[in-house]
């Protein structure tokens, strides 16, 4: 694939992922990877995913301001900080294809069940410890490739949090976790200076779509938000399976 085509794919992935993240508060990495995984070297794709997700969260933090729920957020953040180094250590040795198959299968089965069944009870047990475990898993996912929001978002949905509470937790969790992830990526040499021109494509490409996504978010109901989140998680699972299964076979 030519250099011009690769740059176009990078920009297109950033545009679509930026809008989705602005709307949902997460999913930049999952959406962008569905474009980049086919054309971009894995380490570069992971670095761009973390950079783009962090840039989007900074934009959203100024565009979608909600009451800060520190008590609810803190277990997620503490768990995330502990999980990120684990994910970074796993990145060089992990069989990424089997990882995607397992996670993608869980998402494809469970999220549609939640989407089409209004009778699934909320999870009320576990308290802050369970929230911390969700944050820890999100941190591991962030260290692997910037997927910080997937597990905490699913957990918040299972908890039955209303739209603004969930958005505040996920937005601020992602922001904190991605800052730490990017610092670790830089400190461990995963991010290199030759990646900076690609970052310079991602940032402007996602700017307007992210802001548009935040405007759409402000006008939707709790039910619509839940449907969007679960649909995105389902599609993320499908994308993971589509990319990984042929590689394993």
**Model-level pTM?**
0.76
Q: How far is CA 12 from CA 94, 229, 233, in A?
A: 28, 21, 20
The pLDDT assigned to 201 comes to: 95
Are 103 and 146 a contacting pair, CB within 8 Å?
A: no
Structure-token match 């997620």, residue found: 76
Alpha-carbon dihedral angle through residues 85, 18, 25, 40, given to the nearest 10 degrees: -30
The pLDDT assigned to 78 comes to: 93
The pLDDT assigned to 65 comes to: 60
Extract the residue ranges of the chain whose pLDDT is less than 70.
1-3, 64-69, 117-120, 145-146
Q: What are the pLDDT digits (tens) for 34-69?
A: 788 778 887 888 889 889 989 988 887 777 665 666
Q: Domain limits at 209?
A: 3-248
The pLDDT assigned to 46 comes to: 84
Are 231 and 81 a contacting pair, CB within 8 Å?
A: no
Structure-token match 């610092």, residue found: 183
Q: Tell me the C-alpha distance between 35 and 238, whole Å.
A: 13
- Domain count for the chain: 1
Sequence-separated (6 or more) residues with CB below 8 Å from residue 55: 202, 203, 206, 210
Q: What DSSP string describes 10-44?
A: HHHHHHHHHHHHHHHS--HHHHHHHHHTTTS-HHH
Structure-token match 């402007």, residue found: 204
């Amino acid at each position: 694939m030519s250099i011009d085509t690769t740059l176009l794919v990078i920009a297109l992935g950033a545009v679509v992922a930026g809008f989705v993240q602005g709307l949902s508060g997460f999913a930049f990495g999952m959406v962008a990877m569905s474009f980049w995984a086919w054309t971009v070297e894995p380490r570069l794709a992971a670095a761009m995913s973390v950079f783009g997700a962090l840039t989007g969260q900074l934009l959203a933090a100024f565009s979608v301001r909600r009451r800060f729920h520190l008590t609810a957020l803190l277990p997620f953040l503490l768990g995330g900080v502990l999980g990120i180094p684990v994910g970074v250590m796993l990145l060089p040795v992990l069989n990424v294809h089997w990882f995607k198959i397992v996670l993608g299968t869980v998402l494809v089965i469970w999220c549609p069940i939640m989407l089409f069944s209004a009778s699934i009870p909320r999870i009320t047990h576990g308290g802050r410890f369970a929230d911390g475990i969700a944050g820890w898993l999100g941190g591991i996912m962030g260290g692997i490739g910037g997927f910080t929001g997937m597990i905490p978002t699913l957990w918040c949905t299972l908890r039955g949090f209303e739209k603004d509470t969930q958005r505040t937790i996920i937005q601020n969790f992602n922001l904190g976790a991605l800052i730490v992830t990017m610092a670790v990526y830089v400190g461990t040499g995963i991010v290199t200076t030759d990646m900076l021109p690609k970052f310079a494509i991602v940032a402007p490409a996602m700017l307007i779509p992210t802001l548009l996504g935040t405007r759409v978010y402000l006008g939707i109901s709790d039910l619509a938000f839940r449907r969007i989140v679960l649909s995105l998680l389902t599609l993320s699972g499908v994308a993971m399976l589509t990319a990984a299964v042929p590689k394993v076979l």
